[in-house]
Amino acid sequence: MVTSEYERRIAARFATFDQDGNGYIDREDFSGAAKALLAEFGTAARSDRGQALYIGAEAFWQGMAGIADRDGDQRITREEFVNGAVKRLRDTPERFAEIARPFLHAALAVAGGGDGGVGVEDTTRVLTVLGVDEDLARSAAAALDTDGDGRVDEEEIVRAFARYFTVPE
């Protein structure tokens, strides 16, 4: 089978969302990511930060489902992802950024960042928990700090997120 660079990129994006690797994206992938982040940073689910992260994860899931779950079965298949999410995200990356923002905001708070953002080391931990290979996570975390102040702040991570999922054909 010939796989184009485009298809490879789409497959990688799908895998990023399909955190448990069962072949579709659903609510469990988002709540699972929240749970893993809380465990990594020793934050209780019942704390304010923990609750904010779960609420952000649920909002992120609802936003994704609204874009991509065409048959309404609460699962996004790869086909729905390609035909729904990827096309819509490419057309309106800023809308996607807003869907992701509450989760990303809460994730930065869990990782210890106030308004000044999170250090590159803790950002690497976040990415690794979310399934990014450790070497790649390290370089990605450094790249996220676009203004080079040694911290990854909300705008930097929201913009990078939108960029990552905006896959050119």
Kindly tell me which of 45 and 150 has the beta carbon lying closer to Ca ion: 150
- Interface residues with Ca ion (CB under 5 A) are 18, 20, 22, 29, 69, 71, 73, 75, 145, 147, 149, 151
- Output the DSSP codes for 57-92: HHHHHHHHHHHH-TT-SS-B-HHHIIIIIIHHHHH-
Q: How many other CB atoms sit within 10 Å of the CB of residue 106? A: 24
Q: How far is the CB of 68 from Ca ion (least distance, A)?
A: 8
Residue 122 or 145 with smaller CB distance to Ca ion = 145
State the virtual CA torsion across 107, 10, 162, 90 in degrees, nearest 10: -150
Q: Is the dihedral of CA 131, 49, 74, 13 positive or negative?
A: negative
Using the minimum distance from each CB to Ca ion, give the nearer residue, 56 or 117.
117
Closest distance between Ca ion and the C-beta of residue 47, in Å?
Answer: 26
Min CB(36)–Ca ion separation in Å = 13
**Beta carbon of residue 157, minimum distance to Ca ion (angstroms, whole number):** 9
Nearer to Ca ion, 29 or 122 (CB): 29
**In the complex with Ca ion, which residue's Cβ is closer, 9 or 159?**
159
Count of alpha carbons within 13 angstroms of residue 73, beta-carbon side:
7
Q: At what angle do helices 93-110 and 48-68 cross, to 10 degrees?
A: 160
Shortest distance, position 129 Cβ to Ca ion, whole Å: 16
* Rounded Cα gap, residues 34 and 53, in angstroms: 6
